[in-house]
Amino acid sequence: GAGVSQSPRYKVAKRGQDVALRCDPISGHVSLFWYQQALGQGPEFLTYFQNEAQLDKSGLPSDRFFAERPEGSVSTLKIQRTQQEDSAVYLCASSSTRLAGPTQYFGPGTRLLVL
């Protein structure tokens, strides 16, 4: 497909487990963003990559959250020792521009539930 894809679409984890969420951006897109969307809220910025470089990680809520994009395409968001407050939809978006312009294309998200 031509859009941003994310996997898994749903993830249930027991408290304390580690999880890894994958994002496949649109081919050739330079910029990649991760957002966290709590139930009934708007997306909140987590981190931003330009190619393989993580230029902004100011939105990551704790050091349990880690993101990487080693080859400048696929990205993985890892959450260690998950807590119940980590339950949310995690959205990935990509953009063809180097600057964080408005033309971000969002994936469908991964819905994480921590029990």
Partner 1 sequence: GQQLNQSPQSMFIQEGEDVSMNCTSSSIFNTWLWYKQDPGEGPVLLIALYKAGELTSNGRLTAQFGITRKDSFLNISASIPSDVGIYFCAGQWTGNQFYFGTGTSLTVIP
Q: Under the criterion CB under 8 A, does residue 41 sit at the interface with partner 1? A: yes
Cis check: omega of the bond before 70, within 30 degrees of 0: no
DSSP code at position 33: E
**Amino acid of residue 108:** P
Q: Which is nearer to partner 1, 28 or 42 (CB)?
A: 42
Q: How far is the CB of 106 from partner 1 (least distance, A)?
A: 3
**Amino acid of residue 100:** A
Q: How far is the CB of 16 from partner 1 (least distance, A)?
A: 26
Burial of 2 (0-12, 13-18, 19+ CB in 10 A): exposed
20 to 39, contacts with partner 1 by CB under 8 A?
33
DSSP code at position 39: T
Q: Which is nearer to partner 1, 56 or 68 (CB)?
A: 56
Give residues in contact with partner 1 (CB under 8 A).
4, 33, 40-45, 48, 55-56, 58-59, 91, 93, 100, 102-104, 106-109
